[in-house]
Amino acid sequence: MSVETRRVSFPGAQGDTLAARLDVPVGKPRGYALFAHCFTCSKDIAAARQIAGGLAAQGLAVLRFDFTGLGHSEGEFANTTFASNIQDLVAAADWMRGEGMAPTVLIGHSLGGAAVLSAAAQIPEAKGVATIGAPADPEHVVHNFGADLDVIERDGEADVSLAGRNFRIRKSFIDDLKTHDLEERIANLKRDLLIFHAPLDMNVGIGNAARIFDAAKHPKSFVSLDKADHLLTRPADAAYAASVIAAWAGRLVPEEAPLQLAAREGDVVVAHLGEGKFPQAILAAGHRLRADEPKSVGGDNSGPGPYDFLLAGLGACTNMTLSLYAERKGWQIDRLETRLRHSKIHADDCTDCETQAGKIDKISREITIEGPLDAEHRQKLREIADKCPVHRTLHSEIVIETEMVGSV
């Protein structure tokens, strides 16, 4: 499924404008999720992008944003606390609700995981919480401050280097961390919980996942991210997390009754989906497909266009016919690929066409065959390609009978 990323913004808990990305599937989303990034990270960190994109590709729209003072958001990071992070999350959910897409699923990475666990009670639409490498206690982050922790305690603040960048950390931030009893909030979560953690996580140990799991009531699940690091820097790890979250969230998002299509044997049924201008549901030989038009003509590009299906039918028929003929002849084909393109050309540019005026349809077909075939074999296959049933249908006289049925 195609994915579109939109830039949006909304007011944060402290009144600053927070920058965000909304990753949406093409067509109507089947649900909405809110993603909280890791401590001092941003919405654009690889794990956030890949997980949000992976979920959107499976039908879930995801809002990911920069907390106050981070990334492209306004405000001073030094003035923030874990409590203000929680309220930024609530503000994000409020904005989503106002846009008609209240989040059903909350996802948090590292300290963002602790934040979504804390914020869930203030987001009534949230039915599930997923954490990735989350600490069982927000105060866990202070180990990142090292020797600077003594300076913060003595002077009230210090510039701390984290992942090669300097952040001003104030004592108020540390004092606030001590006031949060995360395990109590987990015990009273009253939502489905999905916990991801890597056994080899060197930043937040796997024991944190055990504490979160033990504190939570069912329904709860744990997924081990084997060989992943804390930031999920391997795309495969982020993709795996996204696929599991999408499957898990499928039970939480409200399901719409699928469009009921029924077809007699040999029929192809096409019905408008009621989403936008063009999207169509197709039932063919028991298989469900989707058709649309490209954005250039006002569609959503949520499926192939009508001419794409026409070309696909000719291409599939061409390959099937060639494969069957080669098999009967005992000819070896290692690779067979047909590329097709539809265009309109002026009739006078076609020397072999009966039509001499106006424009005509042209289908260009390029067949690639690899294998131990000589020139004579290839020429014969070229001739056979023109004899595939769909090719013959397109070249023959076609009668289309239309009957209007249903009530007036």
CATH number for the domain harbouring residue 392: 3.30.300.20
207 and 317 part of one domain: no
Cα distance between residue 30 and residue 63, in whole Å: 14
192 and 317 part of one domain: no
275 and 389 part of one domain: no
Count of structural domains, the chain:
3
Burial status of residue 250 (CB atoms within 10 A of its CB: 0-12, 13-18, 19 or more) = middle
Q: Which residue(s) pair with 9 in the sheet?
A: 19
Cα distance between residue 95 and residue 203, in whole Å: 32
Mean of the per-residue pLDDT values of the chain: 92
The answer to which of 106-115, 172-181, 351-360 has the lowest mean pLDDT is 351-360
Amino acid at site 46: A
**Domain membership flag for residue 254:** no
123 and 41 part of one domain: yes
What's the DSSP call for residue 66?
A: P
Nearest to 67 by CA among 89, 52, 51: 89
227 and 272 part of one domain: no
**Domain membership flag for residue 138:** yes
Cα distance between residue 65 and residue 16, in whole Å: 13
Give the pLDDT confidence score for residue 164 in this predicted structure.
80
**Domain membership flag for residue 323:** yes
Nearest to 130 by CA among 235, 25, 209, 234: 209
**Domain membership flag for residue 159:** yes
Give the pLDDT confidence score for residue 258 in this predicted structure.
55
Q: Is residue 353 within 8 Å of residue 370, measured between CB atoms?
A: no
Confidence grade of residue 354 (pLDDT, cut at 50, 70, 90):
confident
Angle formed by the axes of helices 235-249 and 46-57, to 10°?
Answer: 40
Cα distance between residue 237 and residue 150, in whole Å: 36
Q: Is residue 199 within 8 Å of residue 226, measured between CB atoms?
A: yes
Nearest to 191 by CA among 123, 132, 270: 123
Sign of CA dihedral 52, 53, 58, 60: positive
Residue 312 has pLDDT above 80, yes or no: yes
25 and 81 part of one domain: yes
State which of 304, 338, 371 marks the end of a domain: 304
46-57: average pLDDT = 94
178 and 87 part of one domain: yes
Q: How many C-beta neighbours within 10 Å does residue 3 have?
A: 17
Nearest to 333 by CA among 384, 370, 376: 370
**Domain membership flag for residue 353:** yes
224 and 293 part of one domain: no
Q: Give me 176's structure tokens.
A: 């606030």
Nearest to 126 by CA among 153, 152, 147, 108: 108
State the chain's maximal CA–CA distance in angstroms.
Answer: 92
Amino acid at site 239: A
Compute the C-alpha angle 336/340/344, nearest 5°: 165
**Domain membership flag for residue 10:** yes
Amino acid at site 198: A
**Domain membership flag for residue 336:** yes
Q: Parallel, antiparallel, or unpaired for β 105-109 and 60-65?
A: unpaired
* C-alpha separations of 87 from 82, 97, 123, 209, 406 in Å: 9, 15, 11, 24, 54
> Which of the listed ranges 50-59, 161-170, 187-196 does the model predict with the highest average pLDDT?
187-196
Q: Is residue 196 within 8 Å of residue 241, measured between CB atoms?
A: yes
Nearest to 71 by CA among 165, 172, 141: 165
337 and 278 part of one domain: no
pTM: 0.72
285-293: average pLDDT = 87
87 and 213 part of one domain: yes
What's the DSSP call for residue 164?
A: T
- Write the pLDDT tens digit of every residue in 291-303: 999 888 888 888 8
Confidence grade of residue 406 (pLDDT, cut at 50, 70, 90):
confident
Ranges of H-type helices in 278-371? 306-329
Instruction: For the chain, give the percent of residues with pLDDT over 70.
Output: 97
273 and 176 part of one domain: no
- Write the pLDDT tens digit of every residue in 83-99: 999 999 999 999 999 99
Q: Any residues with CB less than 8 A from the CB of 300 and at least 6 apart, and which?
A: 26, 27, 275, 276, 278, 279, 292, 293
Give the pLDDT confidence score for residue 239 in this predicted structure.
94
Give the pLDDT confidence score for residue 259 in this predicted structure.
59
CATH number of the domain that 235 lies in? 3.40.50.1820
Sheet architecture: strand order including 280-284: 268-272, 280-284, 287-291
369 and 297 part of one domain: no
Residue range of the domain that includes 270: 259-304
Q: Give me 289's structure tokens.
A: 């497909």
Compute the C-alpha angle 211/215/217, nearest 5°: 135
Confidence grade of residue 255 (pLDDT, cut at 50, 70, 90):
low
**Domain membership flag for residue 234:** yes
The answer to which of 24-28, 253-257, 369-373 has the lowest mean pLDDT is 253-257
Amino acid at site 278: F
